[in-house]
Amino acid sequence: MLGKLLGENYLRRRLLKKTDSPVMKMFYENPFPARNSLISELDIVSLDFETTGLNREKDRIISIGRVQISQLGIELGSSSHELIKTNTQLSENSVVIHQITDDQSATGSDVENVLPQLLDNLSGKVLLAHNAKVEVGFINALCQRLYGTNFVIPVIDTQILAKRSFERQHLAYRNNELRLFNLRKLFNMPVYKAHNALMDAVATAELFLALFYKISPRSNGRLSEFLS
């Protein structure tokens, strides 16, 4: 809420002054794009977490996928997919959904080692996700626990963009129609394997570009029009 009222850069400067964490100092040193910036000129990081559940205090991230959008193009060479150690036994339900076993999780990286690299990649950019409160919430909880400070970044949420699009057209919709792969069907996009963090990050990036051109056919949309 404060970010909408005061702007992410205002909050960034405040947090930069207050934090003692070298990781967060590096993250907050780079200004975020101005709200009147053209989307076509921005670097946007599409991010997806697979988790053991939605409770950011007790559940764990089990994989992270990300890919960057630059000048309205998806840079597949920037993509990454990392398994994260959970240090707890994964439930049968989690294994069925994510196809990540305990043995695979054990080969992953500690989230404490992955987070600084992720924050470095996000510094000065815009975060894109589908139902972004999951990714933002988990990162914020980690930043509070590890670095004693909050996580702030400009966010574009494709779920919210789609909802706005339906409402502008006065179209009725059901909640399940706002799911990532159901929305992709509306744009006749290819079907990808669900619940793989990298594939979901790429799928979200593609959906965002489809929504962007629908909302801004002349490709002159500005960041303020797309922020969550």
**Per-residue model confidence as pLDDT tens for the chain (228 residues):** 555 667 899 999 999 999 999 999 999 999 999 999 999 999 999 999 999 999 998 999 999 999 999 999 999 999 999 999 987 777 767 754 677 777 787 789 999 999 999 999 999 999 999 999 999 999 999 999 999 999 999 999 999 999 999 999 998 999 999 999 999 999 999 999 878 999 999 999 999 999 999 999 999 999 999 999
Q: Say if CB 63 and CB 197 are below 8 A apart.
A: yes
Q: What was the pLDDT predicted at 88?
A: 76
Q: Say if CB 45 and CB 128 are below 8 A apart.
A: yes
Q: What was the pLDDT predicted at 74?
A: 98
**Lookup result for tokens 């929504």:** 211
Q: What was the pLDDT predicted at 33?
A: 98
Superfamily of domain 2-222: Ribonuclease H-like superfamily/Ribonuclease H (3.30.420.10)
Any idea where the domains of the chain sit in the sequence? 2-222
Question: What does the alpha-carbon distance between residue 52 and residue 62 come to, in Å, rounded to a whole number?
Answer: 7
Distances from the Cα of 221 to the Cαs of 127, 155, 216, in angstroms?
Answer: 17, 15, 5
Q: What was the pLDDT predicted at 121?
A: 98
